[in-house]
A and B are shown apart, each in its own frame.
Chain A
């Protein structure tokens, strides 16, 4: 819970955390017995999979659920597959999880698949081996013939508060970012690279050899969607709805560093930089293999997770609270927060009092006070046509300032999910 400023007539401001405030060097944390990997595919019991419990797995091995599946994960440690099951994520998204019982440090075996190709970098082998790297690089964008990529945007900013992963790389590893950018240029043949950094890192970022754009230190200016809207509005024709991100490939600084390092050394970096926030709000920068359960991280810092506490993956504004202390670090997890149950701000079912706090903070000028009335009444189409629901970038700021404590962000999310679920049905019927 944060306190409202005494001077309420000024617009509420939330500042992003900067790297100087956190520990300079990340502390390494290792998984104790198991790691869990997520696959973006629903789990159907009885379906024939190419992975089976008991299969041995090498460190860095590509694991895919079925032979023709596009998505894969990289095993962060060698070991044996222990369990394959389903996982229901936020908004009804279905995943399959694969849990590995890992070998101890002395008996780790390495997969040599990438080693054989790393000296000839190409988009093809990047797509084949690197999509599971920390920072979750999306390499599929280069393979869409309908949308040729014209420029690459590298995010040296962290979209949510508290997280500092990308800023850490800009501040401490700008040379590695340059290597990564050069590698990306080489494999994609695209020369226009834009590096987005916070103002205070402008000087450091100059060494990356890319066009530098800076963003403000106030939330949510580093929100990827907002960055895209501003950058795109400078570059292409505005007046396209939603703003088209055609021709832009977006990577996080962490992903760029990982790609660069993979091609430089031949080893796949599988450790993720995560900001771990304990109950007393101490921040620690940690380096942890993807797939490590949050329980292990909490134990490493003697941080008890108790009944009714909240474990948050992602930041305080847009993250997801998980229901299990076994939930693993994912390739795009930048922040993990443990919130004591006594410090959880309550949400209420008050109606909107029309105080206008949300309207003042909305970064994209959505009339939230009207929108929430339509959403609470379940009139989602009108919310889109009259209150610009689709313009919302989902930063969560409106809920943060809501005087009536309405879970506005949740209503917005629900409305968007419902509408997204309706459209395919309408298309089929039409």
Chain B
């Protein structure tokens, strides 16, 4: 049985469908551009600077952590770039540079790398970073104060703030079509709803994000906002308004669907998404924060391991009765 040539020997299977982490990351980045480019168009160079700084510093933090932990360099998989991109999308355009760098540090190092890198993080790294930034440097992240230097053709006040402080009557000038087209102040890549929706649908069709989570998250927002709205339309804004303002869409498409911190079985995904949507509206309508998406995502991330225990019985397995 001697062989004259050296053959490659490895374990089955010998085919692969060709998917890869970097392929997924680059597709997500591509989809994000649909929302980011209109943002850069609207907010100009500061927005471009924030996006590039955020992606660049996120990749750099990842690289430094690879060196520090003596692990293979993983910046090629594109996950750090996605984290940087998502972080920038949620920030106001004129945020100070050091806030961006600290944000990407929190996301990449504290949100992901200290848990062992990709796949190990219990929370969405971007949501962790945003939560810490929002609590620590409130003023820099408040869209009303941050974007004061711009002259917009629309009401330059964060619609969520308006609705929360003065009731839905104050935001009746915001038409849903305008909100969808991004005629509202907000993050660089989180206010142009149409781009997020098209990009998100692309990602869902390609299977890069799990459609179950996205849809149930949106349904969760819509249903619970509708309950509030029907209960008292003079105090609570309409469900459509909630869907198209703040971080609702970016949360549904890109934050809640982060692989490592979300469930994979069908029923858990639905519960996870619905809960996220409900919590978002609860925090917005009766909590003290203006936008609830980031905190809602963090809370459902905590529930993920528990939820994912709900799964179909394996074929051939027997329940052992005590």
**Interfacial residues, chain A to chain B (CB-CB below 8 A):** 1-4, 6-10, 12, 36, 85, 87, 90, 97, 161, 226, 229, 239-243, 305-312, 314, 316-327, 337, 339, 341, 344-345, 347, 349-357, 359-360, 363-367, 369-370, 388, 390-391, 393, 396-397, 399-405, 407, 409-410, 413
Contact = CB atoms under 8 A, between A and B. Distances in A.
A332 B154 CA distance: 74
A242 B315 CA distance: 10
Contacts of A399: 12-13, 16
Contact of B24 (A2, A351, A403, A410): A403
Contacts of B116: 351
Contacts of A241: 316-318
B261 to A, nearest CB: 8
Contacts of A311: 7
Contacts of B264: 354-356, 359-360, 367, 369
B9 interface: yes
A400 B10 contact: no
A317 B15 contact: yes
A325 B4 contact: yes
A350 B7 contact: no
B3 A325 contact: yes
Contacts of A344: 8, 10, 14
Contacts of B18: 1-4, 345
Contacts of A401: 17, 19
A2 B15 contact: yes
B7 A7 contact: no
A305 B316 contact: no
Contacts of B15: 1-2, 161, 316-317, 345, 400
9 contacts: A87-B1, A316-B12, A326-B3, A345-B18, A364-B316, A367-B314, A393-B316, A405-B20, A407-B10
Nearest to B204: A9
A319 B317 CA distance: 26
B117 A7 contact: no
Contacts of A410: 11-12
The residue among B1, B6, B21, B313 with the most chain A CB atoms within 10 A of its own CB is: B1
B119 A325 contact: no
Interface string B1-42: 111111111111111111111001000000000000000000
A321 B8 contact: yes
Given A1-B16, A354-B264, A409-B12, A324 B314 contact: no
A353 B259 contact: yes
Top 6 A-B pairs, shortest CB-CB distance: A8-B207, A356-B264, A324-B3, A345-B16, A410-B11, A364-B315
Contact of B206 (A7, A339, A356, A403): A7
B175 interface: no
B280 to A, nearest CB: 23
A422 to B, nearest CB: 21
B312 interface: yes
Nearest to B17: A4
Given A310-B14, A367-B311, A321 B9 contact: yes
Given A322-B9, A325-B4, A400-B13, A388 B260 contact: no
Contacts of A36: 1
B319 to A, nearest CB: 8
Contacts of B319: 239
B17 to A, nearest CB: 4
A324 B16 contact: no
A405 B260 contact: no
Contacts of B236: none
A351 B117 contact: yes
Interface in B253-270: 259-262, 264-265
B5 to A, nearest CB: 5
Nearest to A242: B316
B120 interface: yes
B20 A321 contact: no
B211 interface: yes
Nearest to A4: B17
Interface in B207-266: 207-208, 210-211, 259-262, 264-265
Contact of A326 (B1, B117, B316): B1
Given A8-B19, A405-B20, 11 more contacts: A3-B18, A8-B207, A241-B317, A307-B6, A314-B12, A322-B9, A324-B7, A325-B4, A355-B259, A357-B207, A399-B16
A344 B13 CA distance: 11
